[in-house]
Structure 1
């Protein structure tokens, strides 16, 4: 029910609306006296519209400007004193995994990662919030008012007064309506910080809809350079049922590279790969002439040729296409059904189907069999496969338009997490195709609008398929789920809870799938050994790190505010309740050490010592450290060592420690916390 206005008409607003109808190009946005963004009229432009002569005004120049641009630039450059605190109980394989799941504001996360991962990331994919004009934090399917968020997030004191970070809300919402300035101000500092993380040949892809695609391209071109804009991919995912005028069946994925010159070099590598493909065809022709229709001998000769090639030869990227038939070279492709359907579960010529059945119904299997498109194993214990021919995989540059039914991914996620838990997640297969094109097998992939964890899912899936060792860093704000949502009913309190659970379940499902495919292979074959290696190497774990205030007491950062009562902080400059693991990760951040390196713990002379990547870093935050302990640790010759400033048993130990390490491990870099 609408409320009464209880005031006279706002004629200024009404007149502005009339002008907007006549001259939409004169509508702009400006900042009001209270700091909010409001719609405005560009009077200089309006004067020109109403004049037949050139109207004098401010000197024109080509630039992108909006209310709040300077503030967003300052926000990107402003330092913070926060840290990352590990959460083992929510992690998977904490000690050994190299994947990271960071929970907190992604602007803070990007700042915390700057030193450690500067120029280290090969690919960034993000799906930021679309500017719908509603109150939201990231995902408009979990909408809430500002007041509701304050209450749920504990942002009010006992008397009900707001304790809300206004700047943080502004960064993550379009609460004042569909103002472009608010959305652009949210995105701009994040893109600037993201650019620093990319390798020189790194790629960033951003999903967006019609509402802000034009502004995204403008700010992206300013941050990355117009010459580094690769293109705007159009993903057609099927009709949407909520259309009012036009059924928009697509989303955009805008792509930039950090250096276009290096992308050109990559095109050269693509040409080298194409040359390798040509070499395979030449070799195939020679082998066929020599062996005729003895396809097993043809295959043996081709594999022998592959083994003779140097490791950097382009042909080796296609060595799995090692089977011959009348049509040419092919590789056996999986014939499993991804979905359990009764009509797909049937015996075929004595071969048992996978658990979910075959990929095709019996009639289509019969047609493919008649066309010689099925690969039969040497033993009945093996699995039938589909022949995937080399000449069918020769596309080098990806098309700017592609179709992928978005409903299929929603169904897969519903089976994984429950119906309606996260209804509009991105398709992991779509993201996987971009990762496969952009990120080599040992690359680092980042998603700082992680949502339901689709990018992490895609990385794990692709590693399982090609044996890669890609890593991911996922960042997600712990947005509360509405109590009426299916997610909340399913037991999820926040969006980050959904993301973590999805990654856990997806990882287990993918590993089980690999194990199932291994069961269908003959032992001691190359294929069996390859799948075994993939199962052993597949990293389905992740370290949960939560953004929090620094472990250091406030007086440590504000010495000019020290009082007599605060001098006790000088004895121990750490906050209460902080664990040794918390201190370790703050040290890793400050020292710029990879947060995904393996961590082990040992007890030396009765003291807990953390070793990162074997001997890259040794850290002990216990108190009462003696010279004997220091000597024992120094004999391990760590590359770096760190201790608490108040951790030494005596002043003499604190004084002598440098001499101890200088004598026993002169290359060790020492620091105190």
Structure 2
């Protein structure tokens, strides 16, 4: 194991080798062979439509550079750590996205992010100058205060509109993060990105480049304000945008009905109102005509014969049954012809509220709703401009390709106050789903002059974690109240009927628990000697068994919710998928490990220190048993 994250170019080359092995020579692409294979579809002409900006090539280098960092579990800040499948990660999101590549590649159902809008007052992480080396950049973004928190002065750069590379800086920040995020999406995965007029044009072009123009589902114009701001020079700004893209081309998308759409159903009611709500109607006569004679027939109603001008939508048997169940509406028009329409209820026969096609214009929820939510949970002026949870609820509630999946992973790597986590818990409360979230937030220092700092929150990440705790508690209380009302009994557990996961694991981005080999310059003998001395034991001094366990899970491609069973001196991961030997190695332990019949075993090399024979025998035994064996 090299201890490094999966890089995008490795995955792309692997995919290309699978579909076009003939264009590779000695492991590299032969461009002449590629052109011969694809013909005129390969364009070597420099005059072409392309998005470019200052530093774009550097942003490619940034995303292609692997990370050696890892995630460290922090149980004391977590809620129900051992049982929950929700994840909150504290750390710089670009590095975190790299860390997650192996374990979550192609596993995330939906992503929502609310990145900096580049208004001219934003501060965010980007290379300070394009000549800045990776080492200089890492040193700067690693600047910490005396308590170990990342300093805003060291890590962030204000991107004012007077900056000559104002748009370029923002693009350099966004491009690698969006690129890596795409890798994490499932084949039917979807990403939603909030933005305003400052960068919507550039964001659309970047998303087209990364996801493909054909995978643009649409741009939602979200009216989020009532209309204040009469002193503005131009139009009063009352909207923002949410850009929606899929990883691959999707066939169909449906959304939860908006309040306006739901109200339409309430205009008509019948005897099924209590169980199925109101209804709208849709025509049962069609203007199209095909060869299906079973759709061309007449029916009798009130002593009159009714025939369609061309044909019916349903067959005769189905239509007659619907009429008998009072699911069809007949209305005579001015020309004495009948309009025959089917009732479509707000709820289906299982009591689930119907979904519909999403509109590109969303009227609310308004900003005040998001502010009110945070105030009710944390107090006033703790977090500025939070999105309403119901907004994220709306998008996370989309049905893709008619598959109502209630068990996906939802990612937000600009978590802010963790509104996405709140939305996922709300959705699960509504329909009993098993959705899981991963929220990533930088431990950005709060301004000492602001209310959040005065209330005891030192970082934005602390605000985010506390919101999840309090939102979870509120949902739990609501579930208890629902059960009390339904059953007339007190003190019932809130998870008896709806087993909602309201906990979360906290993990923090840290340096690797294993020392990394540093390339020595000019083959300096003393530096080389020092490297050799350090690598007598590659495990860092601060490493613990638990920290190493989580790092090896991630670097073996196992997710953070893998089932880990601690046996005598070794750990079994997801049954027999992987065994980790981190504590002790003896012949007896080796034999027990082999008896588990694992697919792969990773052991600390230091466990065999002073016993080369045991290590040699272990290698041979593992090979004979068909087990992949590695030491670190």
Same fold at TM > 0.5: yes
Query: Structure 1 573/122 Cα, relative in aligned 2: closer, same or farther at 3 Å?
Result: same
Instruction: Flag the 1:615–1:98 CA change in 2: closer, same or farther, 3 A.
Output: farther
C-alpha change, 1:658 and 1:181, in structure 2 (3 Å) is same
Contact 1:134 1:177 in 2 (8 A): no
Q: 1:228 to 1:291 in 2, by over 3 A?
A: closer
Task: Output the CA distance in 2 between the equivalents of 1:60 and 1:590.
Answer: 42
2:601 is aligned with 1:641: yes
Q: Which whole-Å CA distance do the structure 2 matches of 1:654 and 1:420 have between them?
A: 60
Hey, what's the Cα distance between the residues in 2 that align with 1:489 and 1:165? 20
**2:210 aligned with 1:208, yes or no?**
no
> 1:174 — aligned with what?
159
Equivalent in 600, 612, 634 of residue 573 of structure 2: 612
1:110 partnered with 2:71: no
Question: Is this contact kept in 1: 2:370–2:387, CA < 8 A?
Answer: yes
Q: Deviations over 1:273-304 (max 9, x none)?
A: x99x999xx98984894799xxxxxxxxxxxx
**Corresponding position of 1:628:** 588
Give the deviation of 1:416 after TM superposition. 0.7
The equivalent residue for 1:535 is 498
The partner residue of 1:497 within 456, 462, 471 is: 462
Distance 1:516 1:636, change over 3 A: farther
Aligned counterpart, 2:7:
none
Task: Work out which of the residue numbers 545, 554, 560 in structure 1 matches 2:516.
Answer: 554
Contact 1:446 1:472 in 2 (8 A): yes
Give distance in 1, aligned partners of 2:472 and 2:497. Answer: 13
Paired residue for 1:74?
Answer: 61
| Cα contact 2:218–2:360 (8 A) shared by 1 | no
- 1:39: which partner in 2? none
Correspondence for 1:414: 375
CA contact (8 A) 1:459 1:472 kept: yes
- Please tell me whether the aligned partners of residues 231 and 256 of structure 1 are also in contact (alpha carbons under 8 angstroms): yes
Corresponding residue of 1:318: 348
Distance 2:253 2:151 in 1: 51
- Alpha-carbon offset, residue 645 of structure 1: 0.6
Structure 1 match to 2:551:
586
Is it true that 1:569 corresponds to 2:534 in the alignment?
yes
Return the alpha-carbon distance in structure 1 between the equivalents of residues 518 and 141 of structure 2: 32
Match in the other structure for 1:244? 232
Correspondence list, 1:513-532, <5 A: 513-522=478-487
Q: What does the per-residue CA deviation read over 1:612-671, in whole Å, with 9 as the maximum and x for residues that have no partner? A: 334433323124x211122233333344332211013622222222444567xx354332
Deviations 1:18-39 (A, max 9, x none): xxxxxxxxxxxxxxxxxxxxxx
How far is 1:204 from its partner? 0.8
The separation in 2 between residues aligned to 1:180 and 1:397, in whole angstroms, is 31
Normalised by the length of structure 2, the TM-score is 0.69
Is 2:69–2:510's contact at 8 Å kept on the other side of the alignment?
A: yes
Are the aligned partners of 1:231 and 1:400 in contact in 2 as well (CA < 8 Å)?
A: no
* Deviation larger for 589-598 or 551-560: 551-560
1:250/1:637 CA distance change after superposition, 3 Å:
same
Distance (Å, rounded) in 1 between the aligned partners of 2:182 and 2:196: 22
Aligned 8 A contact 2:118 2:170 in 1:
yes
Q: Secondary structure at the match of 2:187?
A: strand
Q: Which moved more, 1:587-596 or 1:564-573?
A: 564-573
1:564 is paired with a residue whose SS is: helix
- Cα deviation, 1:93-138, whole Å, max 9, x if unaligned, reads 2222222212111111111112222222111110001112225238
Unaligned runs of 5+ in 2: 1-44, 126-138, 255-280, 285-312, 328-344
1:652 aligns with one of 587, 604, 613: 613
Instruction: Indicate the RMSD between aligned Cα atoms, in angstroms.
Output: 3.8
Q: 2:451 aligns with which of 486, 492, 504?
A: 486
Counterparts of 1:150-169 in structure 2, within 5 Å, are 154-155=143-144, 169=156
- Inter-partner Cα distance in structure 2 for 1:475 and 1:176: 28
Aligned 8 A contact 2:90 2:507 in 1: yes
8 Å CA contact 1:96–1:599 kept in 2: the answer is no
Match in the other structure for 1:672: 631
- Distance (Å, rounded) in 1 between the aligned partners of 2:326 and 2:211: 54
Q: 1:508 aligns with which of 473, 477, 481?
A: 473
CA change 1:291–1:231 in 2 (3 A) is closer
Secondary structure at 1:457 match in 2? helix
Q: 1:600 to 1:498 in 2, by over 3 A?
A: farther
Query: How has the CA–CA distance of structure 1 residues 544 and 463 changed in structure 2, closer, same or farther, with 3 Å as cutoff?
Result: same
509-518 or 448-457: which moved more? 509-518
Q: CA deviation at 1:74?
A: 1.7
Contact 1:622 1:647 in 2 (8 A): yes
Answering whether residue 221 of structure 2 is matched by residue 234 of structure 1, we say: yes
- Cα distance in 2 between the residues matched to 1:66 and 1:87: 40
Q: Displacement of 1:156 after TM fit?
A: 7.8
The structure 2 residue matched to 1:430, chosen from 372, 391, 402, is: 391
Question: What SS does structure 1 have at the residue aligned with 2:498?
Answer: helix
Residue of 225, 241, 245 corresponding to 1:256 = 245
Q: Which has the higher helix share?
A: 1
Q: Which runs of 5+ in 1 are unaligned?
A: 1-57, 139-149, 268-273, 293-314, 322-330, 332-389
1:119 maps to 106
CA distance in 1 between counterparts of 2:486 and 2:479 reads: 11
| Separation (CA, whole Å) in 1 of partners of 2:151 and 2:324 | 80
In the alignment, the residues of structure 2 paired with residue 618 and residue 515 of structure 1 have an alpha-carbon distance, to the nearest angstrom, of 41
Partner of 2:411: 446
3-state SS of paired residue (1:264):
coil
437-446 or 462-471, which moves further after superposition? 437-446
Mapping for residues 463-482 of structure 1, pairs under 5 Å: 463-482=428-447
Pair 518,615 (structure 1): closer, same or farther in 2 beyond 3 Å: farther
Q: Which residue of 1 aligns with 2:330?
A: none
Work out the CA distance in 2 between the residues paired with 1:429 and 1:224: 26
Q: In the alignment, which residue of structure 2 is the partner of 1:328? A: none
* Cα contact 1:174–1:182 (8 A) shared by 2: yes
Task: Check whether the contact 1:119–1:196 (CA below 8 A) recurs between aligned residues.
Answer: yes
Aligned residues: 485
Q: Are the counterparts in 1 of residues 513 and 542 from structure 2 also a CA contact under 8 Å? A: no
The change in CA–CA distance for 1:211 and 1:659 in structure 2 (over 3 A counts) is same
The equivalent position to 1:544 in structure 2, one of 500, 506, 527, is: 506
